[in-house]
Structure 1
Amino acid sequence: MEMSELTALLTREGLALLDEVGPIESSTDVARAVSRLRAAGYSPDLVSAVVGQAHLRVKARAKFGEFGERMLFTRAGLEQATRLNVATLHAVRLRKRGITQVSDLGCGIGGDSLAFAGAGLNVDAVDADDVTAAIAAYNLAPFGDAATVRQGLAEDALQESNSPHAIWLDPARRTAGHSETRRVSASDWSPSLDWCFEVARQHPTGIKLGPGLDRGLIPDDVEAQWVSADGSVVELVLWSGALARPGIRRAALVVQGDTTHELTKAADAEDAEVRELGEFLHEPDGAVIRARLIGDAARMLEAGMLDEQIAYLTGDAALTSPFVQSFRVRETLPAHVKTINAALRAHDIGRLEIKKRGMDIDPAAFRKKLSLRGSQAATLILTRTPAGRVAILADRV
């Protein structure tokens, strides 16, 4: 979105038209809406803004639920925004640590600030991009003086701040823009990672980063918390000062709808011993893998590692947990198409979930080689063990 489009939208006429248009689900609906509104005489800027926002609000449901229906977005801002239920967990942590005021430096469209303000914190939100800052101001307007938004650099905003109680940093990890952006290396982040770490040494700070950050870059004196939401690892947060929990340096937070589960430890967990495939196979949640707490998950399940280089666990105990997906093993086969097809026919399998780890196989391409004509469902797990490559036919527990 360009400033001219946002200016046209932020008028009584523009916002009324956005409400009138309602949700726009598909690209076909986008084209129809554009044609209809242009034929009605609305300006190109207003049409582009209204149709774009109506479409983004539909996409925002996954992250913001019903709140997204009253928000404004940029495409890039929505993609990079924290899910509201995850942002709420961040806000709860700040409240529990006695924080009453937070500076959100690099606030984007205001997703985290919404949660902070909603938890009763006073928020000073800053973003370097003028359009993004204006959208954040719109989204935070219902909180009045409790949430202020300004355009500027994080570095300058911190210098101007009057002893903030806590800092929330979300450095830009993509090229500038409101739509198509690409990831850049850590050396090109804005503000820089080194600057963020320096801030964290001086203030209680939360730094939101991508979950794939090189672990060698993580300082020794922070709590590193990997977060997964509904099966996807969505972020890594580094907590410092009063926001870091005593004695915890590694954490895996698993969010499933409205419930949360967490594994924590003072350091990486020691791996479990390798053992032969048992009655059950367990796939650790991505946050558990990233946090290197697989060994603790294995011990909870009375399980071992299937291979020391592969993040699959196995055991005979009929146990599972929120930190893994569990499968009951039906049959172990050589990883050959002919053998697998024979087993699928024998088990009357017509619906098949394919998972793989440690094997250079494209599951979509592999599926085309399989004969799936039965009435039953199963999971096929293609992986490597100390004895070689195997195919494991299993059922989700």
Structure 2
Amino acid sequence: MHPGPVSSSPGWDGLTTPDGHDLLGRIAALRAAGDAPDLVNQRLRKDGADPELLAAALTVAGLRDRAAPKFGANAPDMLFTQAGLEQASRAHVAELHAARFASCKAVADLGCGLGAESLAFLRAGKRVRAVELDPLTARFAEHNLAVEARGLAAAGGSPEFDVLVGDATVVGAGDADAVFLDPARRTAGHRDTRRLASSDDYSPTLDFAFRAARSAVAGGVKLGPGLDRELIPSDAEAQWVSVDGQVVEMGLWFGEAARAGVGRSATLVSHDDGPLAAPTVHELRAATDAPDAEARELGEYLFEPDGAVIRARLIGLLAKELGAGMLREGIAYLTADRPAHTPFAQAFRVIEELPAREKDLKRALAARGIGRLEIKKRGVDVDPAALRTRMRLKGPHSATLILSRSANRHVALLAERC
């Protein structure tokens, strides 16, 4: 069963009307003056605001605050649903998507949601054909694109876009020479949705998404990072993207959107100067999965690859760059005798190896006066939060404890971040 259009909660349909725009403006003004949400609610109810419209507008006002890291300066003027905001691409990631279509003039965003990608396509100078199955979400997307278009027009641009309500499999890409799809991977709704367990239930289906992407000059499909690798088409470039250490998506790229000789890539987006600042982007790429490095004895340094590197199966390539080996076959920790700086892994200096047996470990941590402990683990069945509680830590020092396996034994490594 595929998610379809859902009925909106009372009041939400009015947010795109003049009354809704006026109410959102009054809420913003009161909040800017320092009024708390409860007081804003009381004042506007007293002034005769429709209760259902007011409830929806107050929800959107709160979502606008949360949207700033994803949508930037335009967030205070945009419309959001809870589910739409949670599922939307971050602006900097959407811009990476848009860059894939540099050779194209028009992009069909089939399943545009609130319009995150369509906004990036507009900013890149593309004509946009946005298609959305849910009517309320489509109206919000049209509003959001209009906000962006006004800014671009004021700067001398000539933005062109259409937002069409309908099933992407029926409406199609029109005359667009590029196609982007973000199949729905959660149940239908505007809030409290849940993840679909099977890729067979995606809407539109993966088969349709792949056909549509292949039929264009350039095509892209955004999917979850945990997609079964057996479903990755052999003619696509598979790109895993992490933002500030969190793997957020896998993109599959076809035609001119795919890069020659690149079958696997891990792209790291880092906001070192804050979520609204321009990010730093690093990428590791290869033609195919990289063979893992050989396992070796524990060295003085340990490296934990970024999740995108692990998902892309490029650990062996990273190991070669670091002059490192695997701590143990099948476990994504690398070890080396020398320090190395890389954006693709967190680096730790191993201070000493502690007893792995819990009773002895507790005694060793107490003897070292460790009161604050970060626990990392791979290849062992341990709940870090529960273990930390059982350790009953006391003392002025802090450290990192790495629990894993080396050769055929469990190891507990006391370490410090490099």
Q: Shorter-normalised TM-score: what interval?
A: over 0.9
Partner Cα separation in structure 2 for residue 135 and residue 20 of structure 1:
19
1:333 corresponds in structure 2 to 354
C-alpha displacement at 1:120, in angstroms?
1.1
Aligned-partner Cα distance in 1 for 2:348–2:99:
34
The sequence identity of aligned pairs, in percent, is: 52
Q: Structure 2 regions of 5+ residues with no counterpart?
A: 1-6, 151-158, 272-278
TM-score scaled by structure 1?
A: 0.93
Which position in structure 2 is the counterpart of 1:169? 181
Match of 2:53 in 1: 46
- Indicate if the aligned counterparts of 2:325 and 2:334 stay in contact, CA closer than 8 A: yes
| Equivalent residue for 1:8, pick from 14, 24, 45 | 14
Match of 2:410 in 1: 389
Question: How much has 1:31 moved relative to structure 2?
Answer: 5.2
Q: Name the CA distance, whole Å, in 1 between partners of 2:371 and 2:40.
A: 41
CA distance in 2, matches of 1:40, 1:356: 57
SS of 1:45 mapped into structure 2: helix
Find the counterpart in structure 2 of residue 86 from structure 1.
93
C-alpha root-mean-square deviation of aligned residues, in Å? Answer: 2.0
User: Is 1:118 aligned to 2:132, yes or no?
Assistant: no
Query: Which letter does structure 1 place at the counterpart of 2:89?
Result: T
Is 1:220 the counterpart of 2:225? The answer is no
Does 2:92 correspond to 1:103? Answer: no
Partner of 1:186: 199
* Matched letter for residue 178 of structure 1: H
What is the alpha-carbon distance in structure 1 between the residues aligned to residue 92 and residue 286 of structure 2?
24
Extract unaligned runs of 5+ from structure 1. none
Report the count of equivalent residues. 391
Write the letter of the residue equivalent to 2:115: G
Give the C-alpha shift of residue 352 in structure 1: 1.4
Q: How far apart are the structure 1 equivalents of 2:74 and 2:380?
A: 42
Question: Is this contact kept in 2: 1:205–1:240, CA < 8 A?
Answer: yes
Residue pair 2:23, 2:54 contacting (<8 A) in 1 also: no
Q: CA deviation at 1:4?
A: 4.7
Please identify, of 9-18 and 220-229, the stretch whose mean Cα deviation from structure 2 is larger: 9-18
Decide whether the 8 Å contact of 2:355 with 2:364 is kept in 1. Answer: no
AA of the residue aligned to 1:317: R
User: CA shift at 1:35, angstroms?
Assistant: 4.4
1:1-397 correspondence to structure 2 within 5 Å? 2=8, 4-22=10-28, 33-95=40-102, 98-142=103-147, 143=149, 146-158=160-172, 161-162=174-175, 164-184=176-196, 185-203=198-216, 204-257=218-271, 258-397=279-418
Distance 2:11 2:322 in 1: 55
CA distance in 1, matches of 2:224, 2:266: 14
Q: Is the 8 A contact 1:334 1:389 kept in 2?
A: no
Kindly indicate whether the alpha-carbon contact (under 8 Å) linking 1:5 and 1:48 is maintained by their aligned counterparts in 2: yes
Q: CA shift at 1:356, angstroms?
A: 1.3
